[in-house]
Amino acid sequence: MSVQPGSAITRRRLTPSAIQALKGERPIVSLTAYTTPIARLLDPHVDFLLVGDSLGMVLYGMDSTLGVTLEMMIAHGQAVMRGTSVSCVVVDMPFGSYQESREQAFRNAARILKETGCSAIKLEGGAEMAETVDFLSSRGIPVLGHVGLMPQLVNTTGGYRSLGRTEREAAKIRRDAKAIDDAGAFAIVVEGTVEPLAREITASLRAPTIGIGASPACDGQILVSDDMLGLFNDFKPRFVKHFAELAPQISAAAEAYAAEVKARSFPGPEHTFTVKS
């Protein structure tokens, strides 16, 4: 029996193989999470949570993901695991932690799994990373692949933009997706890829595709949770939908709090402790 996210039936934590088996059954639901409180709120409603290296930009104000460290990913992976019980948790491998060699990738991926208790890791890369994906997968480390727009390569690919508009770009993304699929990734994120191409790739792969700025035909979808919640209003990519508008609510709450503190109406008697007679 396939149990839907949020079901009243008690669910066991989903595994990477269970995520993979959802291809062709129903769309896969995913969001990013970086902290225990947010993970706890999202956990009943998603199939997997990604502790993305996007935390560098979302939480730390970095200009890109390149400054994120392995230690940061492990700390936030631990935090998310504390807030979840049913969703599969995947932790991103940061830039420089896996590209040097498959042995380096194994050491760091094994460390992430051991120290966080997560179920899988994610790494970016196409055909050039296929050997590493195979090396990890065959040694007990489930891998979520990532092709198309790869934020860790932003300095060499001309910035954040949609890809696959030229035949050369499209051919490369096709090769990358097939290589990572053949290497044994349990699923593959397809980011910033034009819709007809993402649809074509989804139909051609054994592994489910997880779209972000790709196609509604992908086997699943993922968004950065802070984007989905409307916490950033200064920049909204085309592929983002705000399912809430929390930024103005937070600002209004802070304004109301400040006003009450200045007026000495908060805290009131009900918010203070008194000595019992």
Instruction: Report whether pLDDT(236) > 80.
Output: no
Q: What is the pLDDT of residue 154?
A: 73
Q: What is the pLDDT of residue 159?
A: 64
Span 124-142, mean pLDDT? 98
Which of the residue ranges 25-34, 142-151, 232-241 would you say has the lowest mean pLDDT? 232-241
Q: What is the pLDDT of residue 203?
A: 98
Contact criterion met (CB below 8 Å) for 215 and 169: no
Instruction: Determine if residue 43 is labeled as part of a ligand binding site.
Output: no
Residue 25 is a catalytic residue: no
| pLDDT confidence band for 151 (50 / 70 / 90) | confident
Instruction: Determine if residue 63 is labeled as part of a ligand binding site.
Output: no
| pLDDT confidence band for 240 (50 / 70 / 90) | confident
Instruction: Name residues whose C-beta falls within 8 Å of residue 38's C-beta, 6 or more positions apart in sequence.
Output: 83, 225
Instruction: Determine if residue 54 is labeled as part of a ligand binding site.
Output: yes
The first and second tokens of residue 189, run together, are 């994120």
Query: Which CATH topology does 16-246 take?
Result: TIM Barrel (3.20.20)
Compute the CA torsion angle 108, 211, 6, 80 (nearest 10 deg).
20
Q: What is the pLDDT of residue 157?
A: 65
| pLDDT confidence band for 256 (50 / 70 / 90) | very high
Q: What is the pLDDT of residue 239?
A: 81
From the list 191, 200, 245, 255, the catalytic residue is 191
Instruction: Report whether pLDDT(158) > 70.
Output: no
Instruction: Report whether pLDDT(254) > 80.
Output: yes
Higher pLDDT, 161 or 203: 203
Spatial separation of the C-alpha atoms in residues 9 and 125, rounded to whole Å: 38
Q: What is the pLDDT of residue 275?
A: 86
Average pLDDT of every residue of the chain: 93
Cα–Cα nearest to 39, from 3, 63, 13: 13
Can you name the residues that pair with 92 across neighbouring β-strands? 122
Spatial separation of the C-alpha atoms in residues 1 and 267, rounded to whole Å: 52
Instruction: Report whether pLDDT(54) > 60.
Output: yes
Query: 55-87 pLDDT, tens per residue?
Result: 999 999 999 999 999 999 999 999 999 999 999
| pLDDT confidence band for 234 (50 / 70 / 90) | confident
For the chain, what are the domain ranges?
16-246
Instruction: Determine if residue 226 is labeled as part of a ligand binding site.
Output: no
DSSP state of 186: S
Sign of CA dihedral 31, 15, 202, 96: positive
Question: What's the predicted TM-score (pTM) here?
Answer: 0.91
| pLDDT confidence band for 276 (50 / 70 / 90) | confident
Instruction: Report whether pLDDT(97) > 70.
Output: yes
Instruction: Determine if residue 167 is labeled as part of a ligand binding site.
Output: no
